[in-house]
Structure formats: structure tokens, C-alpha cells
């Protein structure tokens, strides 16, 4: 309760700041925050999208380049494997004669040599005459004197100098392919044929494995598989398309495309021509696998965007709610303030009314008093002098006079509440005023057994205000304190001190104190707890009015049974006030002390 005027003060200040923004500004603010949020998210998405787009392209280029190199390398490996083997067979066919090679043991010897030099790539060797009859054979199968006249490979091999077949089952019933070299002996063509170990060849291709789904296989132009593979083999149409594209030479040695496979999976295909364009080395990988890192980065980026978005939205909401809360607080304070304004308006209206009434009452009261005086005058005459009731008449008339004076006092107080008697502003010394008032009330205090003590700070700066008004304030406070402590008596302590940019006067008593229910109302006009006829209830409201008018504060702190303290704060004149000087000198001395390290 004690700080209530101060609170009111703060409220007023706070309220003023928010008057303009509160109310209709709230929805606008929400919109503004919303647009800020949307804008920041949009900017974030745009930047991220741009970065991701570039990242995607460079990653794709890098991936393609890598696969190109990989496939190209293997193409070369496979081609050189074939060429090497072909070269070996051609070499044998060239340096040994038909007669030497048709000797089974010699042929066996050749095979053993080849196997030892070429890591068992060669499975068997055979010599076939122009009619397609195998006249010598070395190898694990019992193929001696086999007839190849109708075999497709033989038909092709007999027409060209050398020939590498597709993979076929042949007589042995196992997938294999052969290298055949044609030579002449006495005008008759003969063929040296070698079978390549399918497993060894297959390993060459199967070794191309990248990631989880990257694998390679070889097909011929007809689309039949030349190696073992787990993959679905490309359809003939697709192969033809690839070949068509490759023959345009647009893509160099390798060709990259994406084709949707079964189950909705998209595959990346890298193709390269082998064996003079008869075979196609195909590398296949799931797009998701090939772009695994990209997808990972994409997911991270999306996560960051989402997280950022959440942060932005959260900040937006936080900001809105905080600002809204602040504005609501402002609104509440404004309401409180306007309530206060209404209250003080009411107070002013009451004051105005009271002043009017007081003025009107003065005349009838004056007449009444004068008429009483007239009766008194008449009573002086002879005819009444002997009257038995003369004494009683005088008493009644004196009573009328006294009550008239009381009316006058009341109206005068009411009028000073409305307009001040002497509101001229001087430079006044607060302590001097207090001394004067204390001396005026000394007699009354003595009768009431009240001791008035003073604790006045010397060298207080002068105040600019009306001394009569200030006297009235101090007088009212002292009178109230004395009234409160009658008849038991007590002690009044009057303190003055300077506090920052204000002077503080405290009037403290050790009387019965003010109950909390009354504390809130004590500055209201006509509020009094004194016996009827003893108080007008205007004293404190006059004090309040005077102190507020000079921009000060008056507050009351009271504890029932312990006493009451009225505290007045009067702001010092701001410019060239001696208070400012003394405050400055205080600071200087403080800093001096600090500098000296005391």
C-alpha cells in the first residue's frame, strides 16, 4: 500500500508510451510478423534451392565423369584381354605348321604353355580343317573328330582371318566362346580354335562393381547376354537406341542414359562398344544409389531448411506474443491511467462544486451572523437588560457566531482546495517553512502532549513554489498527526533530505496508524475519520492537490499501532539548480576517492 502513488506514477509513464500503439495496431503487427516470417523462409528456400541446383549439376557431372572413366577403362581391359588372347592364338597358328599342330601331343603341349602363360584362360585348343572336321584336339572335353560344318561360328570363322564368337553352348553344353584363326596349308584353309574360360572372362566384367547396385554385363547386338549377371538384361529396342545414339558419335566412347526399370526403379546406364562394335559393355546402377551422396546432402539441406523454418516461425510467434503481451500490458496500464484521470477529473469536479457551494453559502452565513449581531446589539438596550433569559440569549447568540465562524472556516478550506490563496511562486527554503509551521503548532502540540522533533538536512537547495501552499501542506500534516495522537500524546519526527533530483519531507508519527481500508481513501476530499464537526476531510486532499500541482509526489505508509509516515517528494528545478551542483560535486568526490584507491 505504501508505494501506491509511486506505482501510479510509473503506470502513468508506461501508459503514455503505449497509448498510440495499443489496440488497432495488434493485427497489423501480426501481419507484419507473418510477412517477415514468410519472407525469411522464402529467402532461405531460394538460396538453398540455388545451392542444391548447382550442387546437383556438379555432382551429376562428377558422377558421370567417374562412370565414364570406369566403363572406359574396363572396355579397354576387356578389349585388350580379347586382343591379347587372339594375338596368342594367331601367333601359334603362324609359327607352327599345320602338320605340327595336328599332332595331338604337340597341341597338348601348346595348350599347357598357353595355360601357364595366360592364367588358365584357355580351356582347350582344336585344329579344324576346311570341311569343318576337327582333326586335333587338346583339352578336358572329349571332342575329338567333332564336326563343325554346320556350326554358325565355323561358317563365320572360315570366311575371315580371325574370329571371336559370341557366347554359346556348343557341343559341350556349357557357355563359352571361342577364338578362331584361319591359316592356309597347301592351298587348304584350316582353323586353330581356342576356347576361352568363361569364368575368367566373366570375372573381368563382374569385377566392375560400384556402390550397392552398380554392376556390369556384356550383350551382343542382338541383346543376348555374353556374361552372367544378376541384372535384367536390356531389351533389344533399348540396345538399338543406344547403338543408334552411339553411332552418331555424339557421346564419344561411352553413352549415358537413364531408363526406368521394373518396380519403378530408375536406372543409370553407361554403355561402351566392345570387340569392334559387336558387343556392348553395359554398366547399370540405380539412380538412387549413384546419387546417394547427393540425396544425402539433399536430405540434410531439407532438414536444415525445415529446422530454419521452424526457428523462424518460432521466433515470429515468440516475438508476436511478446509484443502482444507488452501491448496488452500497455493497454491495461492505459486503462488504469484513464481510470485515474477520471478519478482526478471527478476530484476536480467535486472541488469545483464545493467551491461554488462555499461561495454561495458565504452570503447567507454572513447575514445570519450579522442578524445575530443585531440581536446582540438590541439586547444591549434598556428594555432587555432585566430579562431573565438574557444570559441564555447571549449564550445562544455566541453559539450562532461560533458556528458561523465554523461555516466560514469550512468554506474557506473548500475554496483553498479549489483555488489557492497565494499561489505566487518564490524561491523558498523548505527548512525555514518547516521551522515556521512547527513554531505555529508548538502551542497546540504542547497541549496535546506531542513532542515535535526535527531532523533537517542543512544546505538544501531552494525550491520554487508558493510558500503559503507549502506551509499549508506541512501544517495539515502536523495537525493531522497531533489529532491522531490526542489525547495520549506522542512524537512527531519531521525529516528533510535531498534525494537525487528531489527534496524529501517526511512527517512521521507514532500514533495509532491508519487501517488499510482507509489508506486508499485518505486523499479523497471529504473523507475523514474524525468526529463529526472536528474535520472537514479536506486537509489531505488539499495537500495532495498542492503537491501534485508542483509535480511532486505524496505517499503514506502506515502500520496500525505503530504509526504513520507521510512522505513528500518535490522535484528540484532542473536547470542550474544547486542540487545539480551538489550532486556533481558528490560524484566528483566519490570518483576522487576511488581514484585514490580509498
Minimum gap (Å) between residue 405 Cβ and another protein: 9
Residue closer to another protein (CB basis): 476 or 496:
476
Minimum gap (Å) between residue 406 Cβ and another protein: 12
Residue closer to another protein (CB basis): 20 or 380:
380
Q: Strand, helix or coil at 268?
A: strand
Minimum gap (Å) between residue 502 Cβ and another protein: 29
Residue closer to another protein (CB basis): 236 or 360:
360
Contact between 112 and another protein by CB under 8 A: the answer reads no
Residue closer to another protein (CB basis): 84 or 377:
377
Contact between 404 and another protein by CB under 8 A: the answer reads yes
Contact between 386 and another protein by CB under 8 A: the answer reads no
Minimum gap (Å) between residue 437 Cβ and another protein: 21
Residue numbers 531-550 binding another protein by CB under 8 A: none
Residue closer to another protein (CB basis): 8 or 420:
420
Give CA separation, 216 vs 15, 30, 237, in Å. 79, 60, 19
**Stretch of 84-92, 317-325, 405-413, 566-574 contacting another protein, by CB under 8 A:** 405-413
What is the C-alpha separation between 31 and 24, in angstroms, rounded? 12
Contact 222, 236 (CB under 8 A): yes
Residue closer to another protein (CB basis): 298 or 355:
355
Contact between 367 and another protein by CB under 8 A: the answer reads yes
Residue closer to another protein (CB basis): 109 or 423:
423
Residue closer to another protein (CB basis): 131 or 408:
408
All three cell numbers of 551 = 509535480
Contact between 419 and another protein by CB under 8 A: the answer reads yes
What character string, x for contact with another protein (CB under 8 A) and - otherwise, covers 301-340?
Answer: ----------------------------------------
Contact between 91 and another protein by CB under 8 A: the answer reads no
* Of positions 8, 408, 426, 491, contacts another protein by CB under 8 A: 408
What DSSP line would sit under 127-192, residue for residue?
Answer: EEETTSBEEEEESSS--TT-B-TT-HHHHHHTTSSEEE---B-TTTTS-BEEEEEEEEETTEEEEE
Residue closer to another protein (CB basis): 316 or 404:
404
Contact between 422 and another protein by CB under 8 A: the answer reads yes
All three cell numbers of 391 = 444570559
Other C-beta atoms closer than 10 Å to the C-beta of 401 total 15
* Of positions 369, 450, 492, 542, contacts another protein by CB under 8 A: 369
Residues 6+ apart with CB under 8 A from 451: 445, 489, 490, 491, 492
**Stretch of 54-62, 116-124, 231-239, 410-418 contacting another protein, by CB under 8 A:** 410-418
Taking alpha carbons only, the member of 2, 7, 586, 8 closest to residue 344 is 8
What character string, x for contact with another protein (CB under 8 A) and - otherwise, covers 227-266?
Answer: ----------------------------------------
Task: Give CB contacts under 8 A, 24+ apart, made by 362-371.
Answer: 362/408, 362/411, 365/404, 365/407, 365/408, 365/411, 368/400, 368/404, 369/400, 369/401, 369/404, 369/405
All three cell numbers of 315 = 521466433
What is the C-alpha separation between 46 and 66, in angstroms, rounded? 30
Residue closer to another protein (CB basis): 61 or 370:
370
Minimum gap (Å) between residue 368 Cβ and another protein: 9
What DSSP line would sit under 502-566, residue for residue?
Answer: EEEEEEEE-SS---HHHHTTTTSTT---SPTTT--S-HHHHHHHHHHHTT-EEEEEEETTTEEEE
Contact between 359 and another protein by CB under 8 A: the answer reads yes
Residue 432, Cα to own-chain centre: how many angstroms?
Answer: 60
**Stretch of 166-174, 289-297, 352-360, 568-576 contacting another protein, by CB under 8 A:** 352-360
Contact 438, 454 (CB under 8 A): yes
Other C-beta atoms closer than 10 Å to the C-beta of 119 total 10
Give CA separation, 593 vs 19, 416, 584, 597, in Å. 45, 50, 14, 6
Contact between 380 and another protein by CB under 8 A: the answer reads yes
What is the C-alpha separation between 102 and 186, in angstroms, rounded? 14
Q: How many binding residues for another protein (CB under 8 A)?
A: 27
Contact between 371 and another protein by CB under 8 A: the answer reads yes
Residue closer to another protein (CB basis): 417 or 544:
417
Alpha helices in 96-129 (DSSP H): 98-101, 104-117
DSSP 225: B
**Stretch of 245-253, 370-378, 457-465, 485-493 contacting another protein, by CB under 8 A:** 370-378
β-bridge pairing 502-509 and 463-465: unpaired
Binding site for another protein (CB under 8 A): 355, 358-359, 362-367, 369-371, 373-374, 377, 380, 404, 408, 411-412, 415-416, 418-422
Amino acid at each position: 500500500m505504501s508505494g501506491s502513488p509511486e506505482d501510479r506514477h510509473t503506470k502513468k509513464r508506461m501508459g503514455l508510451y503505449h497509448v498510440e500503439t495499443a489496440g488497432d495496431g495488434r493485427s497489423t503487427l501480426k501481419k507484419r510478423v507473418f510477412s517477415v516470417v514468410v519472407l525469411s523462409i522464402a529467402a532461405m528456400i531460394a538460396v538453398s534451392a540455388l545451392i542444391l541446383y548447382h550442387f546437383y549439376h556438379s555432382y551429376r557431372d562428377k558422377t558421370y565423369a567417374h562412370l565414364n572413366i570406369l566403363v572406359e577403362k574396363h572396355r579397354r581391359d576387356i578389349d585388350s584381354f580379347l586382343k591379347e588372347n587372339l594375338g596368342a592364338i594367331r601367333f601359334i597358328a603362324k609359327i607352327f605348321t599345320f602338320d605340327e599342330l595336328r599332332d595331338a601331343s604337340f597341341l597338348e603341349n601348346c595348350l599347357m604353355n598357353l595355360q601357364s602363360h595366360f592364367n588358365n584362360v584357355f580351356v582347350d585348343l582344336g585344329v579344324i580343317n576346311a570341311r569343318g572336321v576337327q582333326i586335333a584336339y587338346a583339352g578336358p572335353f572329349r571332342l575329338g573328330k567333332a564336326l563343325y560344318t554346320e556350326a554358325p561360328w565355323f561358317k563365320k570363322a572360315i570366311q575371315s582371318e580371325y574370329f571371336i564368337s559370341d557366347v554359346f553352348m556348343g557341343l559341350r553344353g556349357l557357355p563359352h566362346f571361342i577364338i578362331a584363326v584361319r591359316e592356309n596349308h597347301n592351298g587348304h584353309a584350316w582353323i586353330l580354335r581356342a576356347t576361352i574360360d568363361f569364368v575368367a572372362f566373366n570375372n573381368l566384367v563382374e569385377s566392375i562393381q560400384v556402390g550397392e547396385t552398380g554392376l556390369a554385363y556384356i550383350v551382343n547386338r542382338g541383346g543376348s547376354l555374353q556374361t552372367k549377371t544378376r541384372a535384367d538384361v536390356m531389351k533389344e529396342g533399348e540396345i538399338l537406341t543406344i547403338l543408334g545414339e552411339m553411332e552418331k558419335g555424339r557421346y564419344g566412347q561411352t553413352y549415358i542414359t537413364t531408363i526406368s526399370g521394373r518396380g519403378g526403379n530408375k536406372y543409370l546406364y553407361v554403355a561402351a562398344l566392345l570387340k569392334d562394335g559387336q558387343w556392348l559393355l553395359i554398366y547399370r546402377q540405380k539412380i538412387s544409389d549413384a546419387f546417394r551422396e547427393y540425396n544425402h546432402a539433399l536430405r540434410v539441406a531439407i532438414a536444415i531448411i525445415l529446422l530454419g523454418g521452424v526457428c523462424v516461425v518460432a521466433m515470429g510467434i515468440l516475438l508476436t506474443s511478446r509484443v502482444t503481451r507488452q501491448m496488452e500490458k500497455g493497454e491495461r496500464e492505459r486503462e488504469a491511467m484513464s481510470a485515474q484521470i477520471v478519478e482526478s477529473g471527478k476530484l476536480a469536479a467535486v472541488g469545483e462544486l464545493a467551491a461554488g457551494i462555499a461561495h454561495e453559502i458565504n452570503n447567507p452565513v454572513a447575514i445570519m451572523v450579522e442578524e445575530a449581531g443585531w440581536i446582540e446589539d438590541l439586547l444591549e438596550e434598556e428594555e432587555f437588560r432585566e430579562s431573565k433569559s438574557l444570559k441564555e440569549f447571549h449564550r445562544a447568540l455566541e453559539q450562532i457566531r461560533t458556528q458561523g465562524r465554523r461555516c466560514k472556516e469550512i468554506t474557506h478550506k473548500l475554496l483553498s482546495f479549489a483555488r489557492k490563496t497565494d499561489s505566487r511562486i518564490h524561491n523558498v527554503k523548505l527548512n525555514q517553512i518547516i521551522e515556521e509551521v512547527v513554531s505555529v503548532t508548538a502551542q497546540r502540540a504542547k497541549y496535546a502532549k506531542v513532542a515535535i522533533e526535527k531532523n533537517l538536512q542543512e544546505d538544501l537547495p531552494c525550491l520554487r513554489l508558493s510558500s503559503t501552499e507549502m506551509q499549508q501542506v506541512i501544517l495539515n500534516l502536523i495537525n493531522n498527526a497531533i489529532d491522531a495522537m490526542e489525547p495520549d500524546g506522542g512524537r512527531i519526527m519531521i525529516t528533510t533530505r535531498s534525494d537525487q533530483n528531489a527534496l524529501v519531507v517526511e512527517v512521521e508519527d507514532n500514533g495509532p496508524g491508519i487501517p488499510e481500508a482507509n489508506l486508499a481513501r485518505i486523499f479523497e476530499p471529504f473523507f475523514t475519520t474524525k468526529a463529526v464537526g472536528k474535520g472537514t476531510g479536506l486537509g489531505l486532499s488539499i495537500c495532495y492537490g498542492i503537491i501534485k500541482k508542483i509535480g511532486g509526489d505524496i505517499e503514506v505508509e502506515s502500520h496500525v499501532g505503530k504509526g504513520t509516515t507521510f512522505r513528500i517528494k518535490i522535484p528540484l528545478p532542473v536547470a542550474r539548480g544547486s542540487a545539480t551542483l551538489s550532486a556533481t560535486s558528490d560524484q566528483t568526490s566519490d570518483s576522487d576517492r576511488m581514484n585514490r584507491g580509498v
